[in-house]
Chain A
Amino acid sequence: MTANSAAPAKKRSLMQWLKGYTGQKYTTTLLFLLIPVVLLILFTVIPAINMGIYSFQKRDQLGVSWEWVGFDNYVRIFTDGAYLQTFANSIYYLIGSFVQQAFALLIASVLCSKIKFGNAFKGILFFPYMMNGVAVSLIFRRFFQKGDGITNTEGTLNSILMLLGGEPVRWLSDPNLVNICLVFASIWRYIGFDIIMYISAIQSISPDIYEAADLDGANAWQRFWYIVFPSIRPIVGLQLILAIKGAVSVFEIPYIITEGKNGTSTFVIKTIETAFKYQKVGLASAMAVVLLAIILIVTAIQKAFFKEEK
């Protein structure tokens, strides 16, 4: 409001208008938003529109030859077994992230109780989140490796098994085990972040409530179930929704540990392979649109869920 009162009511030249606060508002907007909006149009808006258009075309990476194919690309995604399998794989990651949330919540509540070396435990458990994804993937390539007696000794997990008197297992070449191994690596990498999220949520609960519960003689479990859990429910809800988004967007760990081979491909790996290895940009665009649709649906559910919470 002050901006308007500063401008005199009499007729002004363009220069004066620009110097006034209304004019300034426009010039500042233009000046400040120029670069971000150009970048937004170039790297988000145009690619998003192209993605929608290409998804109905058959075209290569260079875009030299292309033709309209209608819904063929979409039909292929939902009927071709190779693509359907990637959806099945994301179920492993989805279940894995529920396990991850449960463990993170348990660890966080233990860390929030009276405990010595709490910071050291927290630091160790969190640090993998700070680590480079390629480093984590390579570490787990070695962790699950099966020795061949010539160039490689047994990997870490098999070495532990043998110390305990077990037999070495082919973790990464057994189709029943490989996805579980990858999910384990993924939990190892990301759980630290959930732990600190839960810790901060638990710590925001007023200590008065705990004191009251203590006076009433509540045990640890009752304290968790009747005090901690209800107050952090919104965060738990948010984390579970994020888990679904995470499960459909898994990329790095299977891409580097198993290169998506042996039935470990995920939807995003398949999209990237389709676009850059097989040069089928149309089909890959359709896959990206499908992923976006899944994310939009989940986001809509999240919005509805949070409205209810309030």
Chain B
Amino acid sequence: MSSVAKKTGKNSIEDKMYRQSRIFYQILKYVFLTMCCLMVIIPLIVVLIGAFKTHDEYISTGVFTLPEVPQFENFKIAFVNGKVMQGLLNTLIILAVSCFGTIFTGTMTAFVLQRFNMLFTRAVKTVFLIAALLPNISMQVTVFQIVSKLGLYNTLAAPCVLYIGTDIISIYIFIQFLNNISKSLDESAILDGASYPRVYFSIILPMLRPAIATVLVIKFVSIYNDFYTANLYMPSQDLAVVSTALYRFIGPYGAKWEIIFAGIIICIIPSLVIFLCLQKSIYSNLVTGSVKE
């Protein structure tokens, strides 16, 4: 308190300088943040403007020139002819199946690996730990042959099975979370005569809800944005996901950027909506997810 009192009590010139430098820093901060945000926004603005232009306008006007009359035709072409609609539908199916699968297999695996300390569970845990280090895209060199041998090539099952089967990070997150759930809860249930599966379904699974939220957020971001798995295993036009539908625009619409722009916007909208609705929980879930990795 004494130093504060001294500061305000001292001569006013020093006080004024102090205040001025504070204001200067404050302005500098806003300028810096605004510059950074402009760097994010400018590439996006160009896409937004371009998507509403006709092809003639695209060739003849600058990137920042607004369209004379906003066109919605590009969105229709991207959505229907460009298979973005199909892509959204397929992505939704894959997301639903993989999230459901990961949550069940992930929590069950974590439950067994964390609660039962047996030679077998320890061995499995070690294999999972090592598997987490394998570089995902490079692994496809040999995973590809297994997927083809199983007859999963060019089916929606291929990405689903891979997203469920090779998702070790989720198991990690569940195990970390279980470390903080006291075993005495299980034990008291067991004293009441509950079986292990029952302990899992009525105690562990409900308690894991926050961890499940974390996994769902990470899963959504990674699956919705994943390009390579679908590109490699589902070359069929009808099996396009959002990423591959958009990627295939490069061929037929290579010179028609206004249609590509429309496709980009359609494919960003779901992410934007989810982000705006769940902003706070996305930040915290991503941080927990990566710290626990």
Please list the residues of chain A having a beta carbon within 8 angstroms of any beta carbon in chain B: 2-3, 6, 21, 24-25, 28-29, 31-33, 35-37, 39-40, 42-48, 50-51, 54, 61, 63, 103, 106-107, 110-111, 113, 115, 119, 121, 123-135, 138-140, 142-143, 150-156, 159-160, 188, 193, 196-197, 199-200, 215-217, 220, 249, 251-252, 256, 268, 271-272, 275-276, 281, 284-285, 287-288, 291-292, 295-296, 299
Contact = CB atoms under 8 A, between A and B. Distances in A.
B31 to A, nearest CB: 11
A160 to B, nearest CB: 7
A40 B131 contact: yes
B41 A31 contact: no
B53 to A, nearest CB: 11
Given A35-B105, A252-B228, A296-B133, A153 B247 contact: no
Given A63-B145, A139-B264, A291-B138, 16 more contacts: A35-B105, A44-B127, A44-B134, A124-B40, A127-B40, A130-B275, A132-B225, A134-B267, A135-B264, A142-B50, A151-B59, A153-B58, A197-B290, A275-B141, A292-B138, A295-B133
Contacts of A6: 190
Contact of A29 (B59, B121, B127, B284): B121
Given A133-B227, A268-B138, A115 B166 contact: no
A228 to B, nearest CB: 15
A98 to B, nearest CB: 18
Interface in B249-293: 249-250, 255, 257, 260-261, 264, 267-268, 271-272, 274-275, 279, 282-284, 286-287, 290
Given A32-B109, A42-B165, A132 B62 contact: no
Contacts, number: 262
A32 B40 contact: no
**Lowest 10 CB-CB distances: which A-B pairs, in order?**
A39-B165, A288-B138, A47-B142, A32-B108, A28-B196, A275-B141, A50-B142, A284-B141, A200-B287, A44-B131
B61 A51 contact: no
Contacts of A139: 43-44, 46-47, 264
27 contacts: A25-B196, A28-B112, A28-B197, A37-B124, A39-B166, A44-B139, A44-B166, A45-B127, A47-B139, A48-B131, A50-B142, A51-B139, A107-B33, A107-B36, A115-B30, A126-B283, A127-B275, A134-B244, A143-B46, A150-B59, A152-B59, A156-B42, A193-B290, A200-B287, A216-B3, A252-B228, A276-B144
B131 to A, nearest CB: 5
A197 B287 contact: yes
A42 B146 CA distance: 7
A261 to B, nearest CB: 13
A16 B193 CA distance: 15
Contacts of B141: 51, 54, 271-272, 275, 281, 284-285, 287-288
B283 A138 contact: no
A39 B63 CA distance: 49
Interface of B: 3-4, 7, 25, 29-30, 32-33, 36-37, 39-44, 46-47, 50, 58-64, 105-106, 108-109, 111-112, 116, 118, 120-121, 124, 127-128, 131, 133-135, 137-146, 150, 161-162, 164-166, 171, 187, 190-191, 195-197, 200, 221, 224-228, 232, 242-244, 246-247, 249-250, 255, 257, 260-261, 264, 267-268, 271-272, 274-275, 279, 282-284, 286-287, 290
Contact of A152 (B4, B7, B171, B257): B257
A154 B42 contact: no
Interface of A is mostly: helix
A140 B40 CA distance: 11
Contact of A196 (B133, B255, B286): B286
Nearest to B186: A2
Contacts of A63: 145
Given A61-B145, A110-B33, A291-B135, A151 B255 contact: yes
A249 B7 CA distance: 54
A215 B37 contact: no
A107 B31 CA distance: 12
Given A37-B124, A130-B221, A153 B62 contact: yes
Contacts of B246: 132, 134-135, 138
Given A29-B116, A125-B40, A292-B133, A252 B196 contact: no
**Residue from the set B139, B144, B197 with the largest chain A CB neighbour count within 10 Å:** B139
B37 A124 contact: yes
Nearest to B275: A130
A51 B142 contact: yes
Contacts of B284: 200
A224 B92 CA distance: 44
A256 B250 CA distance: 9
A205 to B, nearest CB: 15
Nearest to B166: A43
A31 B264 CA distance: 44
Contact of B271 (A2, A39, A51, A130): A130
**Residue from the set A47, A111, A126, A252 with the largest chain B CB neighbour count within 10 Å:** A47
A156 B264 contact: no
A259 B274 CA distance: 30
Contacts of A152: 59, 255, 257
A119 B190 CA distance: 47
A115 B106 CA distance: 41
Contact of A33 (B42, B124, B150): B124
Contacts of A110: 29, 32-33
